[in-house]
Structure formats: structure tokens, C-alpha cells
Amino acid sequence: MILQTENLNYVYSEKTPFEKTAVKNVNIGIGENDFIGLIGHTGSGKSTLVQHLNGLLKPTSGKIYFEGKNIFDKDYDLNALRFKVGLVFQYPEYQLFDETVEKDIAFGPRNMGLSEEEISQRVEEAAHIVGLKPELLSKSPFDLSGGEKRRAAIAGVIAMRPRVLILDEPTAGLDPVGRNRILEMLKNYRQEHNTTVILVSHSMEDVAQVADKALVMNKGEVFMYDTVEKVFSHGEELEKIGLNVPYVTKIFAKLRANGVYVPTDVFTLDKAEKVLLKLLKREGKE
Amino acid sequence: MNTLIKAEKVCFSFKDEEENIKQVLKDFDLEIEKGSFVSILGHNGSGKSTLARLFNCLHIPDSGTITVEGLDTSVEENVFDIRNKIGLIFQNPDNQIVASIVEEDVAFGPENLGVPPKEIRERVDEALKTVGMYDYRRHETHKLSGGQKQRVAIAGIIAMQPDCIIFDEPTAMLDPKGRADVMKTIRKLRKESGKTIVLITHYMDEAVQADRVVVMDSGKIIADDVPQKVFSKVELLKSVGLDVPQPTELCYRLQKDGINLPDVLTVDECVKELMKKIAED
Amino acid sequence: MKDLTFGQYLPYDSFIHKSDPRTKLLLTLGLIVTAFVSFNFYSLGLVIVFTIMAMIVSKVPISFYLRSLKSIWFFVLLTAVLNVIYIKGDNLLFSFWIIKVYAEGIEKAIFIAIRIALLIFISSMLTYTTAPTALTDAIERLLSPLMKIGIDTHMFAMMMTIAIRFIPTLIEETNKIMSAQKARGANMDSGSLLSRVKAIIPILIPLLISSVRRAKELADAMECRCYHGGKGRTRMNSLKASWRDAVCTLSAGLLLAGVILLNVFL
């Protein structure tokens, strides 16, 4: 386990008329090299939860352990933790600020106090990972296209070489091309760099496409936490808490309801095609 | 045929930060009929949002003309009337809400039109009921969710009683619940008011709900037909970076694998056809 | 930002909440003036009693009023102490080193402290019970006679409306950008003055850029909703004074009379 939470609770605006419990009694463990899809609708507490994992928010009660150490211990270096648990916020392109893309990506590594040589090496690497062409590095970040800005901002966190990379809705507002590009990038990044990735999303399709495990939050509590296959086989329960399961999952649920024997863990087009093909071809032969 | 919006040979370009001229639309023709529900589909940068701004006089064509019920958008005197006829909903719900209280924001448009106070009150109440936000009329706008804000913005346009509402990617910044609520509102509007609706989007499942789908790429129309026909062109859509609805793609893939299936759009259609196929065998 | 209760609107349902914002605005000013012209303990006591009664009528928990005092208590204390030290009179109470404390000084200090506390309570009452938009509205209408001498009060009011609308959005955005930069190791809490100023840049620039973008989009949205300035514009809510306002004005009038009488005769 690289990250662990213990009875985590977080209450907003405590003791005012606006008091609201955002995270309720969360106990989760995140393993090394996990790819976790964190799903839940707005207000489910998912964004609040991830801001605890790098120590930006201090829990009202409960503990968080990174590599076995309590991150809110008095002598724990929270600033150093933020380089190890990289957090990309929603619409991260709105945090770009420096003159050039290169300098902006270098902001994190520079704060780490690395040598210039190391910094430029990391910037180059991060830009490569997110698929930014080298000639874009000398441009102003504000001259990039929407999708490029988003990727530049993600590179700014990747350049810190975090052990855990958390992304809050990295595909929000992007068109299918931009969305696929980011998801595929994350998949490759995780494989090649052997890191842990947590993808916060309200799109079950996104999670189905890339994650191995799914953590479902509802009303601040953990609703389900298991492999993607197991979680998605509970389609009806997920729909009940207001999540949209992929259309493929819906199609398969309806087929089952009609008495067709198909497995419950189908949630991608590739798998669906395979299963149906087998079913139809086999039956065709008989 | 009764045309509401007509674009003829429209060219439009703008300069980017480095002074390069970017041609967004070239010799663009499009007619939108009164009372129709048209969706305009395209990826980011295909020119679809520019179109919305051209229809509402926020941009003026470099050449060619756009008319709204015969009124030329490039004539200064027509601007007020055109905006009175066509309401525009923007992508970012936060940046189109003017007032801090829901009902005061909805009243903003009618107030600008000089509608008498008593009638404004009636229009505001009715509009808020239409979008299902009446219970929130005294709430503060900044505390609402994205989907609620967007519905307040829609109420603000409804209260101006335009003939047509253009939605420019109204759900791009919303979560699934917000998206569903906004789409429900659009369908309800369509059904109850018979207003012309233009829905600009890159979500296939939203575009499917229109009567007519116009697909744009690099400032040109590459498909313009009823949804069933447009979405059967899976290859074409994929070639311009668009998806098709998952049920459509599933059947398309099975067709390619040699299974004889018709084109479908929705989950139910897909299940029905698959069941037929399974029963046949 | 958590303790920012001063100036916030609290949507309770009370007599005072329902009164006309113009009345409330004028009476607030009146009440503050009254507090400052109460020259003896009897008249000041009357103002205190009146204010406490009004606070109870407002249904806003007293703890909120006390909280509004929290950010300013040091200032109150300082003023009081300065008064104690500097006011000279006939009745020397005690002295040490170069400081002489007179009874008059103590009295004056108590007066000042009470008056400042009243000022805070009374103005908090206005903001707690009146939505910002209602306040803007009240100001626009109270200033409307200025229209005749060519001052565009509509523009002023529209600017205030938009400012009030976007302040919470910008606060939220600032917090978000700050968190995002902190997540990239930005250190805003320590270091030399220069390094702290430098640390502001990664927050300020994104905030500026997004504000400009918001302003552009808002301007477009307003134009599309046929906004063309104050000319020919109607308003949905016309402010109408009711019996509540008569009650408010009457009680405030009685208070003023009481204060004057107590000032003169006691």
C-alpha cells in the first residue's frame, strides 16, 4: 500500500449554517502501480477526498498514511509529499501562468530545488509523455489550443515525477479526440513509468477504458471499491445513485433481462463485440 | 418551407495571437427552418461555435450574408430585433449569470426589453417553472450546481420569449446529472413550446435527439440529414474525430464482422435487433 | 476565509429581513448617528437596549453578531486604551510612570468602545438581513435624484450588481488556483518578502486572465440578452414601502426622541 486512509472525515464550514460533511468515514488503501478510477457525481466528495491525499486539506478527523507514515505528523514534510503525490486539478489549463510552456512545466521541479540540468531534462520528458511537440515549449502557454493547454498543465505535474499521479476530471469539456488522447497517454504513462494513477471522473466510459480498479463515492462515503469488472457488474445499483453506466453495459443488462446468457462484466466495445460475435456465430452454426 | 435562419456564402476568419489569419468558414450555406430541432455536430475548432456567434450578431461575416427572418445580421439597426428573436445559451454557466439572485437574473432580459413589471414577474415565474427551478427563485446563483445555473440561464432566455434558442455546447462543463437535466429541459421546451432549437454539441447522444443533424469539419458541412442516416456513416464521423453512439458502433462493428444487422441509434433499438438475431439462429 | 461572516447575508425569515432595503439603509445610518450623539449613559443605554431588541427581532443568532466583533476587537481595545491614557480630567484615579488615569478617561473609553461595538452590530444587522442585490437596488434608487444632474446611477448600480455577483466566484477561483499551485510545490507561507511577492505571481496571472475571459463572456451574454444600458429598461421588483417600514421608522423616531430627551434632561 502506498497510500492509506483511516476513518477519514471532512466537514466544510463547521459550526455555521452552511456546515456540510463532504467526506464520511473513508477507509481505503491504494496499492503501488494501481490504476484507480474514482467515480461519483458532483458533491459525492471525490474531489475533496483527493485533496486530502496530498495534504492540501486537513481532515476533520482520521488519518492518512503515505508509505506507512502519517502525513499530518508534526515533523512530516508536507511540501515534499506534494511532489510525491502529484495532483492535477480540474480544468488545470486555468493555472498556467509563465511566459513559456517550458517555464510553466518547470515550475514544480524548480520548487523542488533541482539543478537546471535536471529540470530541463524533466521538462523534456514530461512534454514527451503528454505528447507536446518540442517546438511548442518556447511558446506562450496562452497561445496553445485548448487540448494542448490541458496537456501542458498535466505535464507540469508529471515533471515532478510523482509516485502517485491524481487527475481530477482530466477529460472534462474535451471532444472525443482530446479525450482519447489523454486517456491513452495516461495508460502508457502508468505502464512505462510504473506509477500509481488515480483518475477522478464522472464518466464511467473513461474509467472503463483505462482503470483496473474503481472506487465509487456517494454522499461522501465509499459506495464500492473493487476491480472495474466487479464494480461495473452492479450496473443497476450504480444507476440508482445517479451514475450513468456505459451504453454497452446497459445493452448487456437488457440482453440478460431478456433471458440471453451473457457475462456481467462487459463494459467496453471491444469486449462486447467479442462476446456477441461468439454468441451469434456459434448459434449461427448450429 | 419557412426559413428562420439563412446563411449564404458566408466567409469568416479571425486573426490569432500571432497575427495569422484563420479561415473559420468558407462559402458556408445553411438554412434552419422555423420550428425545427437541429443539432450541429463537430469537434473543437470545427467552426460550430463561431456559427452560433454569427447567428446572434456577436460576429459579422467577412462576406456573404446571414439573415434571421429576412433581417440581415450585419445591419446595426437589426441587431436588437434579431437578439430578441434568437436567444443564445453559452457553454460556461458561470459567465452568463448577471445577478446574484435566481429570479433577478431571469428578469434581466425582459427588463432590458422594457417589459412592464407585472408581466416580467409572470414571465419569470413561468420560465422558472418550465426549467424546474421555481423553488430556487430566491436562491443565490453562485451556490447552485452547474446544471442548475445552466437551467437558470435557459429560463433567462425563455423569459425573453424568443422564437429560437441556440445552445452552444450547453453541457460541456456539466456532470452527468446536470447534462441529463439540461437535455430534459431542452426536450421539454421542444415539446411544449414548438420553438426552433439549434443544439451545438460534440456529444453524440445529445445530437441524436434532434430531427436533423448537421456535421461540420474545418468550417464545412460534411453531412446533413436525419440522425439515423448521419450516424450510419461511422467511417466518415470517425475520420473527422467524432464518435458515434455506442449502440451504433457496436452494431456497425458486428456488421463488419459479417453479421447482418441494421443501423441503430439507441440502446433499445440495439437490444431489439440483437434479440431478433439471436432468435433467428 | 472561514471566519468571513461580516458583510454576509443570512437568509433568515424575520420582520427586519422583509422590510424595505431603503428604509433599512437609511435607518442604519440614522441609528449609527444616534449612537454617536448619545452623550450620557442613559441615552446610550437606550440605544443599546434598542439595538439588542432589534438584534433579537432579526432572528440572526447573537453568536453571529459576536463573531462580527471578533475581527475588530483589537481595534476597539486599542481605541479604549488610548482614550484611557490621553484624556485628562479633574478626577485622577491613579498614576504610574508617566501615565495618569482619570475617571473621565475611563468613562470616555467605555463610551467609545460601546459606540464602536454598536456600529459593528448595527451595520452587521443591515448586511445580515439584506441581500446584496437588495442593497444595491436601494442605493440605486436612493441615488436616483442624481440622475437629474447627469450622473449615471444605473451604470453604477449595474457595476455593483456584477461585482457582488462575481466576488464569491472569484474567491472560489483564487482558492482553487492557490491549491493548484501549492500542489506544484508553491510556497506562500514563508520566506523573505521578495520571495513571497514572487509567490503571488503564479496566482495573480491566472486569476487576471480568467477574470478577463469571464468579463468578455459576460459582456457577450449581456449583449445577447439585449442589454443596452439603463435607457428604456424596466424593473421587475419595484420597491414598495409597507407597514413594516412605518413600524421601523416610527420606532427609530421614538428612539431618537428618547435619546434627545435623555441627553437634555439627565
Distance CA(B175)–CA(C263), nearest Å, equals 63
Nearest to C67 by CA among A11, A17, B143: A17
Chosen from A93, A95, A110, A158 to mutate, greatest number of chain C CBs within 10 A: A95
Would you call A141 an interface residue with chain C, using a CB distance cutoff of 8 Å?
no
* A176 with B246: Cβ contact below 8 A: no
Q: Identify any residues that bridge with A66 across adjacent strands, giving them in sequence order.
A: A3, A69
Q: Examine the domain organization and report whether A241 and A256 are in the same domain.
A: no
Mutation choice for B interface testing from A280, A283, A285 by most B CBs within 10 A: A280
User: Average model confidence (pLDDT) for chain C?
Assistant: 83
Nearest residue, CB atoms, A247 vs list B17, B173, B245: B245
* Contact between B249 and A284 using a beta-carbon 8 Å cutoff: no
Q: Is C225 close to B121, i.e. CB distance below 8 A?
A: no
B98 contact C CB<8A: yes
Amino acid at A9: N
Handedness of CA A72, A77, A81, A84 (dihedral sign): negative
Question: Cα–Cα distance between A252 and B270 in angstroms, integer?
Answer: 10
Q: Does B275 touch chain A (CB under 8 A)?
A: yes
Q: Are residues A234 and A260 in the same domain?
A: no
Instruction: Indicate the residue of A145, A203, A251 with minimum beta-carbon distance to B267.
Output: A251
Interface test with A, best of C13, C128, C178, C184 (most A CBs within 10 A): C184
Does B246 reside within a domain?
A: no
Kindly list the distances between the CA atom of residue C218 and the CA atoms of A234, A252, B93, B256, C212, in Å, as whole numbers in the listed order: 43, 45, 10, 48, 10
Query: Helical H runs in B146-263?
Result: 146-158, 176-193, 204-207, 227-231, 234-239, 246-256
For residue C65, the surrounding DSSP H or E stretch is helix C62-70
Closest CA to B55 of B159, B218, B167: B167
- Range of A270's domain? 246-286
Tell whether A218 and A269 lie within a shared domain: no
A131 and A260 share one domain: no
The pLDDT assigned to C2 comes to 42
List C-alpha distances in Å: A149 to A71, B87, C185: 32, 31, 20
pLDDT band at C263 (very low <50, low <70, confident <90, very high): confident
Residue B150 belongs to domain with CATH number: 3.40.50.300
Look at B96 and C232 and tell me if their CB atoms are within 8 Å: no
Give dist(CA B267, CA A249) in Å, integer: 10
Contacts of B116 (CB under 8 A, 6+ apart): C234
Burial B10-33 (b: 16+ CB within 10 A, else e): bebeeeeeeeeeeebbbebebebb
- The per-residue pLDDT for B1 is 60
Note whether B215 and B223 are within 8 A (CB).
yes
Domain extents in chain C: 15-130+240-265, 151-224
Q: Is A79 on the interface with C (CB under 8 A)?
A: yes
pLDDT, residue B281, reads 67
Q: A142 to chain C: nearest residue by CA?
A: C209
According to DSSP, residue A56 is labeled S
What's the pLDDT score for residue A16? Answer: 67
| Domains identified in chain B, total number | 1
Q: What is the mean pLDDT of each run of 10 residues along chain B (281 residues)?
A: 90 79 89 94 86 93 93 93 94 92 93 94 96 92 92 96 95 88 94 92 89 92 92 89 88 89 88 87 67
Query: Would you say residue B248 lies in a domain?
Result: no
Question: CA of C5, closest CA in chain A: separation in Å?
Answer: 10
What is the pLDDT at residue C177? 93
Mean pLDDT by 10 residues, chain A (286 residues): 93 76 93 94 89 93 94 90 94 92 95 94 95 93 90 96 95 87 94 93 87 94 93 87 85 89 85 89 56
The cell for B150 is: 445552466
Closest-CA residue of B relative to A180 is B241
**Full residue range of the structural domain in which residue B33 is found:** 3-227
Distance of CA B278 to the CA centre of its chain: 38
A-to-B residue pairs, Cβ atoms closer than 8 angstroms: 97
**Cell triple for residue B114?**
422594457
Measured between CB atoms, does A26 come within 8 Å of chain C? no
Residue C3 has pLDDT above 50, yes or no: no
Residue A20, CB-side half-sphere exposure with 13 Å CA sphere: 9
What is the model's pLDDT at position A188? 93
Q: Give the Cα separation of A24 and A42 in Å (integer).
A: 15
Residues of C in contact with B110 (CB under 8 A): 234, 236
Question: Nearest residue of C to residue B99 by CA position?
Answer: C165
From C179, C202, C210, residue closest to A51, measured CB to CB:
C179
Interchain contact B111–C (C-beta under 8 A): yes
Residue of C nearest to B139 (CA): C11
**CA C73 to CA C96: how far, in whole Å?**
26
Considering only alpha carbons, which residue of chain A is nearest residue C201? A97
Residue A212 phi, psi dihedral angles, 5° rounding: -100, -35
Which residues of chain B neighbour A145 with C-beta distances below 8 Å? 44-45
CA–CA gap between residue A254 and residue B60 (Å, rounded): 50
Mark whether A263 and A207 lie in a shared domain.
no
φ, ψ of residue A68 in degrees (nearest 5): 85, -5
Instruction: Quote the pTM value.
Output: 0.85
For residue A108, the chain C residue with the least C-alpha distance is: C184
- For chain B, the distance separating the N- and C-terminal CA atoms, rounded to the nearest angstrom, is 47
Residue B275 to residue A175, Cβ atoms within 8 A: no
Asked whether residue B120 is domain-assigned, the answer is yes
Q: At what angle do helices B176-193 and B117-130 cross, to 10 degrees?
A: 120
Q: How far is A14 from chain B (nearest CA, A)?
A: 17
User: Mind listing the pLDDT tens digit for each residue in C195-223?
Assistant: 778 888 899 999 999 999 999 999 999 99
Residue B171: phi and psi, rounded to 5, are -115, 5
Q: Do C228 and B92 touch (CB under 8 A)?
A: no
* Cell numbers at B163, concatenated: 422564437
Bridge-based pairing state of the strands A35-39 and A196-201: parallel
- Tell me the residue type at C259: V
Interface with B, mutate which of C12, C214, C224 (most B CBs under 10 A)? C224
Query: Which chain C residues are within 8 Å of B97, Cβ to Cβ?
Result: 165
Range of B51-55, C55-59, C94-98 with top mean pLDDT: B51-55
pLDDT for B128: 96
| Residue type at position B167 | F
Residues of C in contact with A97 (CB under 8 A): 201-203, 205-206
Could B96 and C223 be called an inter-chain contact, meaning their C-beta atoms sit closer than 8 Å? no
Residue type at position A214? A
C150 to chain A, any CB pair closer than 8 A? The answer is: no
Which chains does chain B touch, 3 or more C-beta pairs < 8 A? A, C
Give the CA count within 13 Å in the CB-facing half-sphere of A187: 13
Domain for residue B185, yes or no? yes
Q: Show the cell assigned to A273.
A: 463485440
Establish if A82 touches chain C: CB-CB under 8 angstroms: yes
Which residue in chain B is spatially nearest to A283 when comparing CA positions? B281
